[in-house]
């Protein structure tokens, strides 16, 4: 008899891997999607939130009755709110009106205290990222909180090594390419390192917003792809990790997210749309004998209001 989980945190990880059926190029590689929407909050960030908190508990940085603080575009904040709710840590989240209302509401419902930093017209920019980081630093200093500091926190990488092992096992050791969008760079780096421990020749593709393509040498700019594209080269980024960097615009990412829902029944956010578009580009290069893995980063339920507004605008255009 299988042991029942003691808390919801034990349901983090072990997500399914399924092939795309219709969104595939002619004579292109097979594309498999890691369904991270199956995690408790509907996001892959559950993995890293749990890893950061448990590492801090283990080495004493986070003590019983301690408090936690983080800056986040939403998914990390929701995941931390879940972990902190289960473990009993008060959580302060520095976030912004640039991110989906659903994520902000979800964090509040899980008990987090939100500190909202105003954006430039609802867009993600380098200034917004840095303003949020500074506000989190001030709160951590004032309250003596444990600051997870996701842009610099290396504890999360181990969670993605484990995710890589899941992917390797699920594919029976057949992975020719891996594609992932870059926020903190932890997931791309951790999964790439994990896969290359099994096979050194796996082709790794990083994805970034075309409007703010700083990793590939472009200027910092504003975009609306939630969770990626900080506007500067983030500390955990390592250029040697990626064989290629694909630029995907906000409009391309949204359009692909909509296609993914309508043609595959997979309802995901814009970062997932960017992943799929970049994976399709790689599929054409690698050919029909290859297998490419990419990530459904989260559920589209986190973006219902944002997507609904776009659909209404298009219908009335």
At 20, which CATH number? 3.40.50.1100
Whether residues 93 and 198 fall in one domain? no
User: What is the rounded average pLDDT of the residues 162-187?
Assistant: 98
Q: Residue 1 class from Cβ within 10 Å (0-12 exposed, 13-18 middle, 19+ buried)?
A: exposed
Whether residues 68 and 183 fall in one domain? no
Whether residues 17 and 68 fall in one domain? no
pLDDT at 71 over 70: yes
Q: For CA atoms 213, 219, 224, 229, give the dihedral sign.
A: positive
User: How high does pLDDT run on average in the chain?
Assistant: 94
CB 298 within 8 A of CB 225: no
What is the domain extent for residue 12?
8-38+164-312
pLDDT at 317 over 60: no
Where a domain ends, among 147, 180, 201?
A: 147
Whether residues 301 and 194 fall in one domain? yes
pLDDT at 1 over 60: no
pLDDT at 306 over 90: no
pLDDT band at 5 (very low <50, low <70, confident <90, very high): confident
Q: Is 185 helix (H, G, I), strand (E, B) or coil?
A: coil
Whether residues 298 and 175 fall in one domain? yes
Cα separation, 22 vs 14, in Å, equals: 25
What sections of 144-217 are H helices per DSSP?
A: 157-170, 186-198
pLDDT band at 315 (very low <50, low <70, confident <90, very high): low
Q: Is residue 153 part of a domain?
A: no
Whether residues 174 and 123 fall in one domain? no
pLDDT reported for residue 308: 66
Tell me the whole-structure pTM to 2 decimals.
0.93
Q: Is residue 183 part of a domain?
A: yes
Cα separation, 89 vs 61, in Å, equals: 13
> Encoding tokens for residue 137?
């630093």
Most distant CA atoms of the chain, gap in Å: 58
More confident residue, 192 or 311: 192
Cα separation, 126 vs 130, in Å, equals: 6
> Encoding tokens for residue 9?
């945190």
pLDDT reported for residue 100: 82
Whether residues 24 and 87 fall in one domain? no
Beta-bridge mates of residue 206: 180, 245
Cα separation, 15 vs 192, in Å, equals: 18
Instruction: Say how many domains are in the chain.
Output: 2
Q: Is residue 286 part of a domain?
A: yes
> Encoding tokens for residue 126?
């380098």
């Amino acid at each position: 008899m299988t042991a029942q989980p003691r808390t919801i945190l034990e349901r983090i990880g072990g997500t399914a891997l399924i092939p795309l059926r219709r969104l595939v190029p002619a004579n292109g590689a097979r594309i498999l999607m890691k369904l991270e929407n199956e995690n408790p909050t509907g996001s892959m960030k559950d993995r890293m939130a749990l890893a950061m908190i448990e590492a801090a508990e283990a080495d004493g940085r986070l003590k019983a009755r301690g408090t936690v603080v983080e800056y986040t575009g939403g998914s990390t904040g929701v995941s931390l709110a879940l972990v902190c709710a289960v473990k009993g840590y008060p959580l302060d989240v520095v976030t912004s009106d640039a991110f989906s209302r659903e994520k902000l509401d979800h964090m509040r419902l899980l008990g987090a205290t939100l500190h909202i930093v105003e954006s430039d017209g609802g867009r993600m920019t380098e200034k917004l990222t840095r303003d949020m980081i500074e506000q989190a630093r001030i709160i951590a200093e004032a309250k003596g909180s444990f600051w997870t500091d996701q842009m610099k926190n290396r504890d999360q990488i181990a969670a993605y090594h484990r995710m890589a092992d899941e992917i390797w096992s699920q594919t029976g050791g057949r992975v020719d390419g891996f594609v992932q969008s870059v926020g903190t760079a932890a997931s791309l780096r951790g999964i790439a390192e994990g896969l290359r421990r099994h096979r050194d020749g796996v082709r790794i593709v990083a994805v970034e917003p075309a409007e703010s393509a700083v990793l590939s040498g472009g200027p910092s700019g504003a975009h609306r792809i939630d969770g990626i594209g900080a506007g500067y080269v983030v500390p955990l980024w390592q250029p040697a990790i990626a064989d290629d960097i694909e630029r995907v615009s906000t409009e391309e990412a949204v359009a692909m997210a909509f296609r993914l829902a309508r043609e595959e029944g997979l309802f995901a956010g814009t970062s997932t749309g960017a992943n799929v578009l970049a994976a399709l580009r790689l599929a054409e290069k690698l050919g029909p004998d290859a297998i490419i893995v990419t990530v459904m980063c989260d559920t589209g339920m986190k973006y219902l209001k944002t997507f609904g507004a776009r659909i209404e605008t298009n219908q009335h255009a």
